[in-house]
């Protein structure tokens, strides 16, 4: 099982969207995604909940969690999204950075655009790795 860890600062927006989209689109026998943040927020941003609900993905029970070296060590790939210098470095772990705008406090139209960019990148990753659901 391949595990992809999506990490941002508050684990309340970008990384939550990416992990949820990944898990919805990936072949569950091949890969799964987790998300975490360097400074977890109290909850997933309301505008993110709304934008994901439009796709039929319910994040109302999702809770931001702390990005720890132990969590990162269990992943095969770490994708960072704006945590910069606070993102962990795990020797031997593949890493990529997706510079995406934080959706917090943005109008729903902008959150939809960010969501679309996240989905485009997730689909590209899944296709490149051969992990798309059949």
Number of folded domains in the chain? 1
For the chain, helix (H) and strand (E) counts, in that order, are: 4, 4
| Residues 82-97: tens digit of each pLDDT | 776 767 667 778 999 9
> Considering the domain boundaries, does residue 134 fall inside one?
no
CA–CA separation, 41 vs 51, rounded Å? 18
**Whole-prediction pTM value?**
0.94
List beta partners, residue 77: 4, 94
pLDDT of residue 88: 64
Residue numbers of the domain that contains 43: 2-129
Got the DSSP string for 87-125?
S---TT-EEEE------TT--HHHHHHHHHHHHHHHHHH
Q: What is the mean pLDDT of the chain?
A: 93
Question: What's the sign of the alpha-carbon dihedral 62, 16, 104, 73?
Answer: positive
The CATH number of the domain where 32 resides is what? 3.40.50.2300
């Amino acid at each position: 099982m391949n595990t992809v860890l999506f990490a941002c600062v508050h684990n309340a927006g970008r990384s939550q969207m990416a992990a949820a989209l990944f898990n919805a689109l990936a072949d569950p026998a091949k890969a799964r995604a987790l998300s975490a943040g360097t400074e977890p927020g109290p909850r997933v941003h309301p505008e993110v909940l709304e934008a994901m609900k439009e796709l039929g993905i319910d994040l109302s029970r999702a809770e931001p969690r702390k990005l720890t070296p132990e969590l990162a060590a269990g992943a095969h790939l770490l994708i960072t999204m704006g945590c910069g210098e606070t993102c962990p470095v795990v020797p031997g772990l593949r890493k990529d950075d997706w510079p995406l705008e934080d959706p917090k406090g943005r109008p729903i139209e902008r959150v939809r655009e960010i969501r679309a960019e996240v989905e485009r990148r997730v689909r590209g990753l899944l296709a490149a790795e051969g992990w798309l659901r059949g």
